[in-house]
Structure 1
Amino acid sequence: MVSVRIAAPLAMLFLSGCVMGPEHTPPQTALPAKFNEGGGTSAGDVSTVKWWTAFNDPRLDKLVNQGIEQNLDILQSLERIEQARATVITAGAGSLPQLTTSASQSLSKTNGGYNSTPQTSESSGTLSASWLLDLWGEYRRSKQAAKAQLDEAYDNVDTARLTFLNTLVTAYINARYYQQRVAIANEAVKSRRETLELTKLQLEAGAASRLDVAQAEGLVNSTLADIPGLEASFYSNAYQISTLLGLPASTLIADLKKGAPQPVARRTAITGVPADLVRNRPDVRAAERELAAAVYDIGVAKAKLLPSITLSGSISPSYTHRNDRSGTANTWSFGPSLTLPIFDGGTLRANVKSAESVAREKYLAWKQAVLNGVEDVEKALAAYNRDARAVAANRAYVKSYEEALQLSTASYKDGASSLLDVLDAQRNWTTAKASLAEAIQTMASDYVTLNVAVGGGYAFNGSVDSVLLRTPQAQVPGVPTNKVAAAK
């Protein structure tokens, strides 16, 4: 028969290998083999694809490269990685041996009358150790949950970078669109002023009325009235771009006012298949890591239902010295302590049920994130696949009314048509050009939306670990900087 002295430690070692609660396995959900308007080939890893370079705009490329390193939302998410790393350490620290020490030194003496005593010097110290045996894996599960949350923090950085790309490129597209609208309005003002001057000449010659002049003046002024709003919209988007780069709002105005053509993508987007989204979309990965943390938290809650054993001990040497004598005294203690939850009003079991419910909720949230991603891609594909037709139709629209304007103007000069025909043609021509500019803006924006929906481009300048190593930390008075280690 195995002696108790041998059996007890073996039992303790066996129990210390136990963990409560379920193990996390990657979740599954049914997905179609392909997008409704997409191909059936996987896109692979699209996180490094620089899709915005399809616009062939060096200024935009420069803004992206600059902003990805200094966007404040991204930098904040990087700091949350360091916070999550610290949480991993604290989550598992409770299962490790704890060692503390203390020391004291005192001098005492009583003077006066019959109560005088010799001077006494006392020195003492204490060394205490304790170890909570993680019999049921409470701290191991807690550390697993913390590691899952650390992974989520990494994924949240990727989400912040993807959001930055979406917001920056869209703001740039909008800024160029409003610049184009201002140019169209200025061109329309020039054309309408020419018509106004012609009408004034015809009034002097008796071939036009004062009403004709008033109508021509009104059309000039109505166009002039549109320009301030368009300019304000340009400034708004330009200011947003500066802020996205972590700069004061007006920093980039001079550079952006130089102007450039409206961005037009020169190549098609890589869409892949719905299953790619589980890997490529950082928000989906973050939702899966949230689920993993919730599953491990079930084990933490279940472990609290069971007894816990703590081994503790202390050694306290002391030394006392008086004028007439001195001596030492040493005390020590060691032993286990058992904590057994007996009655808590159902709190611990309710905590288990709550943790299980949270895990089910997180699974549903993950599934919703996947389905939302599929919807995002389907909608973006449906829009982008039709944008080219809209742009082509608007180009034909502009060409038709440009010809109509030329014919009506020539006819008006010859006296064969009325001023109203010219003014209508000018309105239609201006409207057609504005409609074309809007169609080009929509096509560029839909291209951005589609690439963001498939999770493309956020890691074009390296992984989060490499970014952590080269990103300077914020200088906070009284707070030391601490470069985050690259390893997860």
Structure 2
Amino acid sequence: MTVRSSLALAIAGALAACSTAGPDYRPPERSAATAASATAAFAAGDDHAFVQAPLPDRWWQLYEDPMLDRLVEQALAANSDLRAADANLRRATAVVQEAAAGRTIATMASGGVDLARPSGTGQGLPGTVGYDLGLSATYPLDLNGKIRRAIEAAQADAEAVQAARDAVRVSVAAATARAYVGVCAANYGLSVNREVTALQRRTLDATRKLQRGGRGTAFDVSRAQTVVDESEATLPGFEARRQADLFLLATLLGRPPADYPREVAACASLPFMTKPLPIGDGAGLIRRRPDIRAAERSLAADTARIGVAMADLYPQVSFGGSLGLAGPLDNLGSGSAFGFSVGPLLSWSFPNRAAVKAQIAQAGAQVDADLASFDTVVLGALREAETALSTYARDRDKVTALTQARDSAALSAGQAEKLFRFGRSGFFDLLDAQRSLATAEASVVAARTQLALDEVDIFLALGGGWQDRP
């Protein structure tokens, strides 16, 4: 085969590849995200605690708690994990710019001076001083779309990194709300347990008076003292949990633990929503969850990389030109020293087609793995949302039942105290009633705290809170 026929064959191959190599990306049509049950209303969302309304961008404002609003906004502005995520996004954006630069004109300047004595010239030593100055430029024609596919891949990668950044934002908002709930819950528990302890201490004081009057025994006093001590022993635990959550808040706000927000330390009531929670539906969840968006964008990026690999089956064509001066130094600037060239440039890894086809197979397998991972992420997100909704609904029922039990225990404790005062009931019955009241109060505190945390878990599972950046 002559050089001319080889060149013609290469140009024909390049022209045949003028369409962009590889498949065009389309969102997966047959996946977990397109199933009718996945996009419908949540199965656990039919409770009266929920409403199928769109989730607001700043879901924490549904609490109507100015303190919580300030804390979340401060965390979203100063959190160190978010700063790192922002830096990762800037890096991914720079990678896109680097890929886009591949379709621009590339230039190169060169120059050199040498001392040479060509063989066979008969020249004496040391020889002739020569020079070589050149300027070249090439422009990629990208007939097979390799650069276009590389840009697509880089752009999709950057969007996946942006989704990962949004996922960090969701987590930071939820962690801040949970820490705030923890502080308020600890103070709420302290308040309730102090009231119970005060009631038990009044019983202890009355028992001591009865002992001094001959109506009680030392055994009655010691048992009453034991009940008071048991209740007081729970108080340091609440204080420790409050301080731990205050330290966590400081960290989320980008501060040292000792610089925790003092104004939060006095939070005395649990934040609760007075209206049904807006939860949307499965379709809204799939569009909103950052981890689903990240998985979908990774699938798009790897689909584009199939085209990058397939483009190597065809010649890479660019248009180039060069200008230069070369010759002996004493001939610098003369017309004979000037030269130029212009024309198409081809490169082709024709002998390595087996390696290229293996790379195409690798890229295709990666897309298949990405599609499976995408389905896994979608199914996991739907499961988390359904579980969070179901748990919240059942915990609401639990709070209702425990509150009724607490009210009954409080009534029994009051009745036992009156009966004991009038000598119609034994001291043990009084202590038992007060112990039951203390246990019931502790159960209500724990259940209400868990319910408040369940609300945050719902919004975390729904993936809201990243759309409206400060």
Which TM-score bucket, shorter chain as reference?
A: 0.7 to 0.9
Aligned to 1:27: 28
Report the CA distance shift for 1:194/1:39 in structure 2 as closer, same or farther (over 3 A).
closer
The one-character-per-residue Cα deviations of 1:274-317 (angstroms, maximum 9, x if unpaired) are: 12222122221111111100111111122223333455543322
Which one of 39, 43, 48 corresponds to residue 36 of structure 1? 43
Unaligned runs of 5+ in 1: 108-114, 468-488
Structure 2 counterparts to residues 220-235 of structure 1, below 5 A: 220-235=228-243
- Contact 1:312-1:334 at 8 Å conserved across structures: yes
- Deviation of 1:130 after TM superposition, in Å, equals 3.1
Task: Assess if the C-alpha contact under 8 Å between 2:142 and 2:318 holds in 1.
Answer: no
C-alpha distance in 2 between matches for 1:326 and 1:93: 36
Look up the match of 1:210: 218
Query: In the TM superposition, what is the alpha-carbon distance from 1:190 to its structure 2 partner?
Result: 1.9
1:242 paired residue among 234, 240, 250 = 250
1:65 to 69, 73, 81: 73
Aligned CA distance change for structure 1 residues 60 and 327 (closer, same or farther; 3 Å): closer
CA distance in 2 between partners of 1:44 and 1:26 (Å): 26
Unaligned runs of 5+ residues in structure 2 are: 116-123
- Is the Cα–Cα contact under 8 Å of residues 44 and 276 in structure 1 kept in the other structure? no
C-alpha spacing 1:123/1:26, structure 2 compared with 1 (3 Å): same
Taking the aligned partners of 2:15 and 2:285, their CA distance within structure 1 comes to: 42
Asked if the contact 2:413–2:434 (Cα under 8 Å) also holds between the matched residues in 1, the reply is yes
Match of 2:361 among 318, 340, 353: 353
Cα distance change, pair 343–257 in 1 and its aligned pair in 2 (3 A): closer
> Which one-letter code corresponds to 1:36 in the other structure?
A
* Aligned residue in 2 for 1:400: 408
Q: Quote the offset at 1:340 in angstroms.
A: 2.6
| Displacement after TM superposition at 1:267 (Å) | 1.3
Change beyond 3 A, Cα 1:319–1:43: farther
DSSP-derived class of the 1:283 partner: helix
Question: Normalised by the size of structure 2, how large is the TM-score?
Answer: 0.85
Q: Distance in 2 between matches of 1:44 and 1:10?
A: 59
Deviates more, 1:248-257 or 1:327-336: 327-336
SS class of match (2:324)? strand
The aligned amino acid for 2:102 is G
Q: 1:272 is paired with a residue of what secondary structure?
A: coil
Deviation at 1:105, TM superposition (A): 7.6
Residue 338 of structure 1 corresponds to which residue in structure 2? 347
Name the structure 1 match of 2:264: 256
Q: Does the aligned pair in 2 maintain the 1:103–1:126 contact within 8 Å?
A: yes
SS in 1 for 2:137: strand
In 2, the alpha carbon distance for the partners of 1:199 and 1:16 equals 98
Q: Percent identity?
A: 29
The worse-fitting range, judged by mean Cα deviation, of 158-167 and 250-259 is 250-259
- Aligned Cα RMSD in Å? 3.2
1:418 pairs, out of 426, 430, 448, with 426
- Whole-Å Cα distance in 2 between the matches of residues 343 and 71 of structure 1? 50
13-22 or 219-228: bigger deviation: 13-22
Q: Return the letter of the residue paired with 1:25.
A: R
2: CA distance, partners of 1:372 / 1:351: 31
User: Are 1:201 and 2:209 an aligned pair?
Assistant: yes
Compute the TM-score of the two structures, normalised by the length of structure 1: 0.82
SS in 2 for 1:275: helix
Q: Closer, same or farther in 2 for the Cα pair 1:351/1:11, shift >3 Å? A: closer
1:213 maps to a residue whose letter is: V
CA 1:12–1:99 in 2, change beyond 3 Å: closer, same or farther?
farther
CA distance 1:11–1:219, change in 2 (3 Å)? same
SS of the equivalent of 2:94 reads: helix
Corresponding residue of 1:100: 108
Change (3 A) 1:128 1:359: same
In the TM superposition, what whole-angstrom CA distance separates every residue of 1:342-393 from its partner, at most 9, and x where no partner exists?
147x433222222111111111111222222221221122122233322222
Structure 1 counterpart SS, 2:325: strand
Alignment equivalent of 1:388, drawn from 389, 393, 396: 396
| Greater per-residue helix proportion | 2
Select the residue among 270, 279, 284 that pairs with 2:287.
279
Partner of 1:480: none
| Post-superposition offset of 1:229 | 1.9
The 1:337–1:22 alpha-carbon spacing in structure 2 relative to 1, beyond 3 Å, is: closer
TM superposition shift of 1:318:
5.0
Answer yes or no: is the 8 Å Cα contact 1:320–1:327 preserved in 2: no
Aligned residue-pair number: 446
- Mapped to 1, the partners of 2:137 and 2:466 lie a distance apart of 48
Amino acid at match of 1:297: R
SS in 2 for 1:127: strand
Quote the Cα distance in structure 1 between the aligned partners of 2:444 and 2:170.
29
